[in-house]
Structure 1
Amino acid sequence: MRFWVGGYTADAEGTATGIGVLHAGAVDSPLAGGDLAFRGVAASAPSPSWIAAHPTLDVLYAAQEFAGTVRAFVRTGEETYAPHGAAVDAGDAVCHVAVAPDGSSLVATCWGDGRVVQYPVSADGRIGGPRIAAAADDPTTDNSEDADSATQNQLAELSALAGMTGFAALGDLPLFGAEAQSDVTRAVGADGKDETGPATPAPARVSRAHQTRFLPGGVVVTTDLGFDLVRFWTSGPTGLRLTQEVTLPRGSGPRHTVWHPSGHLYVVTELSLEVFVLARDAAARAGEGWRIVGGTSLGAGTAPGSDFAAEIALTRDAAYVVIGIRGSNTLATVRVRDGGRALAAVALAESGVDWPRHHVVERDTVLVAGQLSNEIVSLTLDERTGAIGRVRRRVEAPSPTRLLAAHG
């Protein structure tokens, strides 16, 4: 198989020089377990940390993260691309791009300033002018009556889910962590007396949009890692229209999502190391009626504060979920249960790289991009049990951050 590789360049202290090319076995094989070979650069670009493909055209789209722009690249040869129109402004630290299933639009998300930006895409794949979507508000600081009611509803749901998410009690949820304490701190002095004083102000929370996914029925979902939001939109002629927001526990940090064929949305949280299951009321209008119905922690051996979840991917039969964890540099396997509604952590396996920024599951093989070890590895996957084995192959690759299977 052939893969396009996103990466960090010198503007991010990386060693890549653009969009790379990886061979995993023969390029015309449906299997990825063969020899790995990094074939060089398909297109020069500044830190194309995330890349996406047009559904029908030979066009790639790159989030040029530290340039704050998105750009299209058109195929010029078997493994070469060239710029296709000018780079278009997105926002601070644009980290993800996604293309609509019909190729009519592109959505970029920016972790630096929280922007969600939609662009029209022309018939030949060029990117049009930006349409900035509604900014997110921190649901934990909005004092409006409606927001308070929504927060209370979310708390009730989270309380019921405390056991499912791996916490012993509601008080253990990140929503009730250090940042949620009162404005005084209590300490016991050397003489045993209660000493009360001003608390150290918690760091200001900042919107950090991180990923977009197009769902069936014309729904668009984005994550906001800074405000702990999963936001749902519908797309119209003037851009994205916000239809609903689901609030996850405070400090959990929703990062990426994956769509399960059962109709459930799985959301991995970078900071609390969990996966939440969201489902939609079938009677609700498009983009509405979403709620938390289940979830799980990633299990013993993970450590919030020193570990950070990265990518989430399904196995071929959607019976298991595989999550990359940076820090301990592991891969977590989670079993899907109850028709997609429930999840259960199974095991942790060594990823074989330093800082597993991204991974893909291709049948019985997991390919992992090690951002800090400058390499890509392949590991075995037992599709019956979800067990991940040892590293099978390894190849040097400069600061890889994204693996995208090439079709054609």
Structure 2
Amino acid sequence: MTRFWLGGYSAAREGSAEGIGLLAGDEGREASTLAYRGAVVGVPSPSWLAQHPTADVVYAALEGNAAVQAFARSGETALAPLGAPVAVGQDVCHIAVASNGSALIASCYGDGRVVRFALDAEGRILPAKPDAAAALRAALFGEPDPDAPAATPPGDGIAAVDPYAAGGERSSHAHAAVFLPDGRIASTDLGFDLVRFWRQGGNGLVLDQEVVLPLGTGPRHMVMHPSGHLHVVTEYSCEVFTLASSADGTWRVVSSTLASPIAQVGTDFPAELARSRDGQFLYTALRGSNTIAALRVRGGGEALEGVALADSGVDWPRHHLIYEGKMLVAGQRSDTITLLDLDERTGAPLGVRHEAQVPTPSHFLPVR
């Protein structure tokens, strides 16, 4: 049976979700019967979800509560808290879990923090262990907590205009993170136009490198390609930047491509970036025109080419997921999800196959 845990926004975040929900279809007729089956655990605005690689544990970013929380599977379609919520940072909007289950990374849009938590053998979130000397320096001199580092402006020192900021001057907005094959972590900072690379230290994260993207691009989400390239979609400039690692481990930009040739900067805001299982295609959703753009991966993974654009069937497509050759799209403002067929040969979305009412959806996570 096809089933998905659903993240969503609650009343305090202008939504109607009552917690982590369940989307499921009737056995044998999943595509045409996918429907919202209710909340399985009540928590406020679990906007992003992540699965532990081996344990039956799901993690939620509680965006409105500045916390993350673990939930253990307690039945076929039930989750129960595995420990209390753990404080993290303002507007935590993304979490990533290491492939060996050792750590969780939380990205906080509101204050720019990128925070590492260790996970125990059962998948519980362990509170960060503060370094006593660093805590004293923070108290005396106002230095940032090393267990929750926030981004600093790049070396150019130029203030960029942030279209979402009341004063216009940019500030740090961490948005997503991904574990790299070498054990480091890449994160995006939408406010400072940065892709940052971290090493995991004993008390948190240690900054290893920053790649500065062009001013005002707004890097948002990322995917690792099987070729080893890192693709980054930008919310403000509607582009996909491709980064490659050099022999010495440093990263650099090798190409940039428009997410869509008809995307309108200032009107369209790309959200998620997803890839097909074989890595031949990438897909991003444009909030504004409410479309799905398909891009073909060329060469050795270093180049992209736009191949198709299609209606998403929802309003404000915040997240989409490629699953068994189809695409699920979450419409944050329409309170709907859609299921789109995909052309295996061309990668093009073929139109809406199914639609269902869902309270303010923001993220899909397959039920394992």
Cα distance in 2, alignment partners of residues 292 and 120 from structure 1:
31
Aligned 8 A contact 1:255 1:270 in 2: yes
Partner of 1:260: 225
Find the partner of 2:242 among 237, 259, 277.
277
Report 1:299-318 matches (<5 A). Answer: 299-318=260-279
Q: State the SS of the aligned residue for 1:11.
A: helix
| TM-fit CA distance, 1:45 | 0.6
Report 1:390-405 matches (<5 A). Answer: 390-405=351-366
Partner of 1:231: 196
Which blocks of at least 5 consecutive residues in structure 2 are unaligned? 130-146
Aligned 8 A contact 1:375 1:399 in 2: yes
Cα distance in 2, alignment partners of residues 223 and 54 from structure 1:
22
| TM-fit CA distance, 1:34 | 4.2
Partner of 1:373: 334
* Cα offsets for 1:54-106 (capped at 9, x unmatched): 11111111100011011111111111111111111111100011111111111
Cα distance in 2, alignment partners of residues 382 and 394 from structure 1:
19
Structure 1's consecutive aligned runs of 4 or more residues displaced over 4 angstroms after TM superposition are none
- Whichever residue aligns with residue 15 of structure 2, its letter is G
Return the TM-score normalized by structure 2: 0.90
Partner of 2:157: 142
| TM-fit CA distance, 1:25 | 5.6
Aligned 8 A contact 2:161 2:170 in 1: no
CA gap of 1:41–1:179, structure 2 versus 1, over 3 A, is closer
| TM-fit CA distance, 1:32 | 6.4
Aligned 8 A contact 2:183 2:199 in 1: yes
CA gap of 1:179–1:87, structure 2 versus 1, over 3 A, is closer
Partner of 2:43: 45
CA gap of 1:81–1:207, structure 2 versus 1, over 3 A, is same
Q: State the SS of the aligned residue for 2:126.
A: coil
CA gap of 1:344–1:25, structure 2 versus 1, over 3 A, is farther
Report 1:178-327 matches (<5 A). Answer: 179=161, 203-281=168-246, 283-284=247-248, 288-327=249-288
Cα distance in 2, alignment partners of residues 135 and 179 from structure 1:
19
Q: State the SS of the aligned residue for 1:377.
A: strand
CA gap of 1:322–1:273, structure 2 versus 1, over 3 A, is same
Which blocks of at least 5 consecutive residues in structure 1 are unaligned? 144-174, 181-200
Aligned 8 A contact 2:128 2:203 in 1: no
| TM-fit CA distance, 1:142 | 3.2
Cα distance in 2, alignment partners of residues 24 and 87 from structure 1:
31
| TM-fit CA distance, 1:179 | 4.6
Return the TM-score normalized by structure 1: 0.82
Report 1:101-140 matches (<5 A). Answer: 101-130=99-128, 132-139=147-154
Partner of 1:75: 73
Identity of aligned residues (%): 52
Cα distance in 1, alignment partners of residues 224 and 24 from structure 2:
27
Aligned 8 A contact 2:107 2:177 in 1: yes
Aligned 8 A contact 2:66 2:91 in 1: yes
Cα distance in 1, alignment partners of residues 349 and 341 from structure 2:
6
Partner of 1:171: none
Partner of 2:10: 9
Equivalenced residue count is 347
* Cα offsets for 1:234-261 (capped at 9, x unmatched): 2132221111010111110000000100
Cα distance in 2, alignment partners of residues 240 and 307 from structure 1:
33
Cα distance in 2, alignment partners of residues 247 and 130 from structure 1:
29
| TM-fit CA distance, 1:136 | 1.3
CA gap of 1:59–1:224, structure 2 versus 1, over 3 A, is same
Cα distance in 2, alignment partners of residues 229 and 64 from structure 1:
24
